[in-house]
């Protein structure tokens, strides 16, 4: 039961990360343009968030060893994601508008401005979601002897969720749903994971 719960939990986390990455690139493109640099920036920032999230998530799991702890960062990530349409437009516009209108933006800033925009908007929620796989491995390893097997399954489930997020975002959501609604839906999904972590915490303490 714990294994299945952990797999579904990280599946949804991986799904949310890729929704933010793919839809986020479209969101940034309206201000920074649809250039190659926007996609490179978004992919690079999300990969940095994932790498740091994996490292920090493992350390937190060893320290707290309770699923309920995840409710705090997940709730914060949920609020940030839900409010992306409300509070980030001025941040991105400020990055773009700081360049003089009568001059061409230097090539260096054409590359780095999207990095800055992606970091300010998407780094935090993706970083928090990236803590879930190592955290779930630590919790499940208390119940299972085959740590290698559960590690592989956890990261496989997270990756499958990411694959689903890529195709659903690119082929369905962007075509039929407003970007603001996608962000709000992803925020609600992240909040669901926060509540779920509290339920898991109670269940684990009883078993």
Measured CA angle at 167 (ends 191, 121), to 5 deg: 45
DSSP conformation class of 105: P
What pLDDT, on a 0 to 100 scale, did the predictor assign at position 34? 72
What is the pTM (predicted TM-score) of this model?
Answer: 0.93
Q: What is the CATH number of the domain that holds 80?
A: 1.20.1250.20
By residue range, what is the domain housing residue 85?
2-206
**One-character DSSP codes across 5-47:** HHHHHHHHHHHHHHHHHHHHHHHHHHHH-S-HHHHHHHHHHHH
Q: Which of 91, 85, 93 is nearest to 180 (CA)?
A: 85
Per-residue pLDDT tens digits of the chain, which is 207 residues long: 667 889 999 999 999 999 999 999 999 988 887 778 999 999 999 999 999 999 999 999 988 888 899 999 999 999 999 999 998 888 888 887 777 776 777 778 788 889 999 999 999 999 999 999 999 998 887 655 678 888 999 999 999 999 999 999 999 999 999 999 999 999 999 999 999 999 998 887 776
Instruction: Give the model's pLDDT for residue 83.
Output: 96
- Which tokens hold the place of 46? 């999300």
- CA gap 157, 149 in Å, rounded: 12
Return the exposure string of 158-188: e unless at least 16 CB atoms fall within 10 Å of the residue's CB, then b.
beebbebbbeebbeebbeeeebeebbbbbbe
How many separate domains does the chain show? 1
CB 130 within 8 A of CB 50: yes
- Alpha helices (H) along the chain: 2-32, 36-64, 71-82, 84-87, 89-97, 107-130, 132-141, 147-168, 174-176, 179-206
């Amino acid at each position: 039961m714990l294994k299945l719960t952990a797999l579904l939990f990280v599946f949804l986390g991986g799904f949310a990360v890729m929704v933010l990455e793919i839809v986020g690139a479209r969101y940034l493109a309206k201000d920074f343009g649809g250039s190659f640099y926007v996609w490179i920036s978004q992919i690079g920032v999300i990969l940095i968030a994932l790498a740091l999230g994996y490292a920090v998530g493992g350390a937190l799991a060893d320290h707290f060893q309770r699923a309920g702890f995840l409710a705090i960062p997940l709730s914060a990530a949920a609020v940030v994601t839900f409010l992306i349409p409300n509070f980030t437009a001025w941040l991105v516009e400020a990055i773009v508008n700081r360049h003089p209108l009568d001059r061409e933006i230097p090539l260096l800033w054409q590359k780095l401005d999207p990095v800055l925009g992606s970091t300010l908007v998407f780094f935090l929620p993706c970083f928090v979601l990236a803590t879930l796989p190592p955290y779930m491995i630590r919790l499940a390893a208390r119940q299972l002897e085959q740590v290698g097997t559960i590690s592989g399954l956890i990261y496989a489930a997270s990756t499958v969720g990411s694959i689903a997020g890529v195709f659903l975002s690119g082929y369905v959501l962007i075509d039929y749903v407003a970007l603001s609604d996608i962000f709000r839906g992803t925020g609600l999904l992240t909040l669901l994971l926060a509540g779920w972590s509290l339920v898991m915490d109670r269940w684990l303490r009883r078993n």
